[in-house]
Chains A and B, each alone.
Chain A
Amino acid sequence: MSEVKPDLVDVQIDGVWHQFPKGTRLIEACRQVGAEVPHYCYHPKLTSPGNCRMCLVETGMPPRPMPGAEPPQPDESGHLPISWIPRPVIACANTVAPNMGVRTTGPITEECRKGVMEFLLANHPLDCPICDQAGECTLQEYSVEHGKGESRFREKKVKKPKNVDVGPRVRLDDERCVMCSRCIRFTDEIADDPVLGFTDRGSHTVLTVYPGRELANNYSLNTVDICPVGALTSNDFRFQMRVWFMRETNTIDVNCATGCNVTVYSRQNKIYRVVPRQNNDVNSDWMPDSHRLNFHWIDSDARLTDPMVKENGKHRVATWSEALAKTAEKLAPLSGSEIAVIASARMTNEELFLVNRLVKQIGAGHVEIVPRMGEADGYLISADRNPNTNGVKLVLGLANPGSGLDRVKSGIEEGRIKAVLCLQENLVEDGGFSPELLGKLDFLLATYPLANPTTGLADVVLPGACWAEKSGTMINVTGRLQRLNKAVDGPGQTLEPWEIVRDLIQALGGGNGIYSVTEIFKQLAAEVAAFKGLSWGQIGDLGLPLIETGETIPALEREKQRKAAGLIVG
């Protein structure tokens, strides 16, 4: 037999021998060698009930000789012959065994798939034209790949509840449900809120929410993501856009320091939905509802679209050069110690890098950020609601971000600070700066995506792009460096914050030739020790660990335990 490591077993998949660690599920072994096994109920992060029967495959083992008979002899590759078993097995819950054979094609496997497809469609309403899942529905996909092309079903279909409100954000169509139980297992195993279940039996089985309860937990929309069909749909997204028209952008969530990996779905510069993207070092496959739905403000009427300057107490639209020139003019008479720069821990490392340069250039006496602390939810929401506090520490060099905010306030109060450059923050509402306090300033510049009380007070207002409109990197709570990718353009004259800071640096006298985020990252990698040797491309879509913070993400820790216990594949 070929060289076998102790914990590896030889398995033949579709005629080719491979080695897999003991305990590997057949479905994962097949996937690893490119022989995808279709499935509905199996999800690597959930337990395997084996109920959909779509992953049935033909398997075989070496023949067991009758007592006294000659044992089977290995062939020239060192493997025993395989005696194929007529009864198919589910690939999702069975594990590899030495000298096992698996056929993901062939008559038995293919007949099983055709049979299951026909069964699943027998009572399915076939309402694809008006179904939100159309275009990303496994029933559709597997119909193409494994279906019979026609149904023999001539009977009346089973009628079940439709358009059921199972919770504030999720809607259920029981006729579309294939009863894979993924949503039930998710609410039970991951969200600890087991409110979903089946009632009735046989073909009349219905998914339902427990009487008097609702699917209202902050992770409810993940059930929509893992529903392989159109049974569970999002109230927010349903009927908004056909999925095939949308563009997908891989980026990260900025609602807290966890930095859930997400895909932003947009069309013609409008975002239609944000869904979690798998990253087993950050958010697994999940994200909180509150975070994914926090995007509708992006195309609201409150967006700032043009630079504005205040004249005679009123804002008027200005050009960028006008606004920057006015800023330079107002700052010129001031000494550095009279200027405070309030940056944001929602800024990328690249933006912070330029902020740092700006601070040095004008010799600003104060630089701070606005902290946002809340309560961790014990799953994926971090207590730190700023996405890049670690970047602030590392790039902007603040040892204790937010701690100096009171000194800035007293500086303004006492007249020592005469100008504030507020970059992508809302000092009045989030920073605890009263309008009266800000009114004492000689000059206030504010950049922000939305009009807010701070921009209302500002002498110069600059429209800064929001998270979905910019690229850059951030460092999450565990110290992981992750990439933000621009999904849509900001409205009107909006610029990405790094461009604004670059232009401020230029307007205030320092020239530089930075034209892209990747260029900034190169400089960052050259100047900041922790980034040394890194390139933009290296970070990839899943990020990489940059620093040790000692922090963990509770939902991931629990997932690791379930994996170690063999309950899930992970």
Chain B
Amino acid sequence: MGGITYKRGREPHGKEHRVIFRNIDREGWDPGIETYLKDGGYDQLKKALGMERAAITEEVKKSGLRGRGGAGFPCGVKWTFIPPNNTKPVYLICNADESEPGTFKDRYILHQDPHQLIEGMTIACFAVGAKLAYIYIREEFPEAAKIVEKAIAEAHAKGFLGKNIQGSGFDLEIYVHRGAGAYICGEETGLIESLEGKRPYPRIKPPYFPAAMGLYLCPTIVNNVETLCHVKHIIGMGGEEYAKTGTKNNTGTRILCVSGDVQKPGYFEVEVGKVTMGEVINDLCGGLKPGRELKAVIPGGSSAKVLRADEIYTVGRGDDARKLTIWDIPMDFDTMAACGSMAGSGGVIVMDDSRSMSWVLNNLNNFYAHESCGQCTPCREGSLWMKKITDRVVAGKASPSDIDTLYGVAKNIDGRTICAFGEACSWPTESFVEKFRDELIGDTKPELEGAIVNAETLTAAASL
């Protein structure tokens, strides 16, 4: 990072590897196109426009880039799902509905480096043959929408968008679409419905796989903001070179958003798998708060299963099997999955021993009960039910068997819903009960077993 200086107090940590966040908090940087161009902006687009379309996808495949939105699906593979005999228009949508609690990376790209996104997106659109693309920005980012719209206008004026981009014959228009404040709009088919002007009810898959039947039932690629930014750098470095960063099958860099009980919460771009949880907490974040001990970590956004601090995790199989403490877990997709959670959106939520797990779970359940779209039965009814049970646990009005019910409700949601929200809302409950069962039960009262717990039922019982 030669020659780049950062604002005081915002300097990257030595263990960071800034690619996407290279210009975030950079001294003398602004989101305008002149600044971007002076820094070599849109060079990769010019390079890409001179390549074969299939070759771009090939580079992205070689790079091993996995989606940074949460699911970690290989980006290049996703692009190839567009039916080869397709005759309909192809759309590309940038998912800037960053709503996963604990995640705050895309907003910095939108606010401070919008042209990086536009450049990555334009390359991606050229690769998949999209002439119309949308950036779906969540309602809660009003400034971001203004900044990105301005950036689009600037790119237009400079011939990086619009008709015949840089004389290549490629046309592209990008539009900003603003959400209306619903978590479910981050689910790609929910987002597509919303973009079509409907309630964001996720679609069933099959048949509505976006790459074949997406926006207006045309092939549609939905990629996260960070993912699309990576595309620019993959073209810059070449896929193989890119794949040398990070670790095998977990290539590149990714931005970790650390929140919770650490000294210096914030965002940190690291090579995937090259730093451990311990390094994240102790080095990047300056350690836990004084006198506190680590209790648990949610490693990939609020939907990820919680990891308990004192647990030993076994990863790998057979001869490769090794035992890890929570401190040793490398921050990558595969290890995190092997530990029973997920790297998800990169939102790392750290909890120390001052935290009541009942309260934490109730907080999460409140969020999911509020955000369930209500389309399909298990999630609609289950998310509120789980919230109501943990409301009682926190209020000291629950009995030990309520914890079993809570777990049973989560299990009845998991794997039975239209979209991944079912897992998103049930995994926290499942993992908290599995890992902190004793603590949750400790917050319940055995004497309330079988007791009537709400006024409504009391009234009904009294009139019997």
A and B are interacting partners: yes
- CB pair B377–A53 under 8 Å, yes or no, is yes
- CB pair B377–A203 under 8 Å, yes or no, is no
Surface stretch bound by A, among B78-86, B335-343, B451-459: B451-459
- CB pair A88–B415 under 8 Å, yes or no, is yes
B381's partner among A156, A198, A203 (CB-CB below 8 A) is A203
Bits for A198-219, please: 1 = Cβ < 8 Å to B, else 0: 1011111100000000000000
Chain B residues closer than 8 Å to A153, beta-carbon distance: 385
B372's partner among A51, A158, A197, A201 (CB-CB below 8 A) is A201
Chain A residues closer than 8 Å to B402, beta-carbon distance: 154
- CB pair A119–B412 under 8 Å, yes or no, is yes
A407 at the interface (CB under 8 A from B): no
A303, chain B: closest CB distance, angstroms: 46
Assembled-state Cα–Cα distance A200/B373 (Å): 8
- CB pair B377–A116 under 8 Å, yes or no, is yes
B206 at the interface (CB under 8 A from A): yes
A250, chain B: closest CB distance, angstroms: 34
B207 at the interface (CB under 8 A from A): yes
Chain A residues closer than 8 Å to B416, beta-carbon distance: 53, 56, 88, 112, 115-116
Q: With A52-B376, A53-B378 in contact, is A202–B384 under 8 Å at CB?
A: yes
Closest-by-CB residue of A relative to B415 is A87
B408's partner among A53, A90, A152, A156 (CB-CB below 8 A) is A152
- CB pair B381–A122 under 8 Å, yes or no, is yes
A532 at the interface (CB under 8 A from B): no
- CB pair A202–B388 under 8 Å, yes or no, is no
How many positions in chain B have a CB within 8 Å of any CB in the partner chain? 41
Question: For residues 114 through 140 of chain A, which have their beta carbon under 8 Å from a beta carbon of chain B?
Answer: 115-116, 118-120, 122-123
Assembled-state Cα–Cα distance A87/B455 (Å): 39
* Chain A: number of interface residues, binned into ranges: 35 or more
- CB pair B415–A50 under 8 Å, yes or no, is no
Specify the main secondary structure of chain B where it touches its partner. helix
A157 at the interface (CB under 8 A from B): yes
- CB pair B381–A93 under 8 Å, yes or no, is no
A44 at the interface (CB under 8 A from B): no
B87, chain A: closest CB distance, angstroms: 17
A30 at the interface (CB under 8 A from B): no
Q: With A93-B204, A202-B372 in contact, is A154–B381 under 8 Å at CB?
A: no
B256, chain A: closest CB distance, angstroms: 30
Closest-by-CB residue of B relative to A52 is B377
Chain B residues closer than 8 Å to A122, beta-carbon distance: 381, 385
Bits for B374-414, please: 1 = Cβ < 8 Å to A, else 0: 11111011111100110010000000001001001100100
Question: For residues 351 through 399 of chain A, which have their beta carbon under 8 Å from a beta carbon of chain B?
Answer: none
Closest-by-CB residue of B relative to A40 is B377
The 20 sampled A-B contact pairs (Cβ below 8 Å) are A49-B375, A51-B201, A54-B377, A94-B206, A111-B412, A116-B377, A116-B378, A118-B412, A119-B378, A119-B412, A155-B385, A155-B453, A156-B456, A179-B377, A202-B369, A202-B370, A202-B380, A202-B383, A203-B385, A204-B374
Shortest beta-carbon contacts, A-B, top 7: A115-B412, A205-B374, A119-B381, A203-B384, A155-B388, A202-B372, A50-B204
13 additional contacts, CB 8 Å, given A50-B418, A179-B375, A198-B374? A49-B375, A50-B376, A51-B376, A52-B377, A87-B415, A116-B412, A118-B412, A122-B381, A123-B381, A154-B452, A155-B392, A158-B384, A205-B374
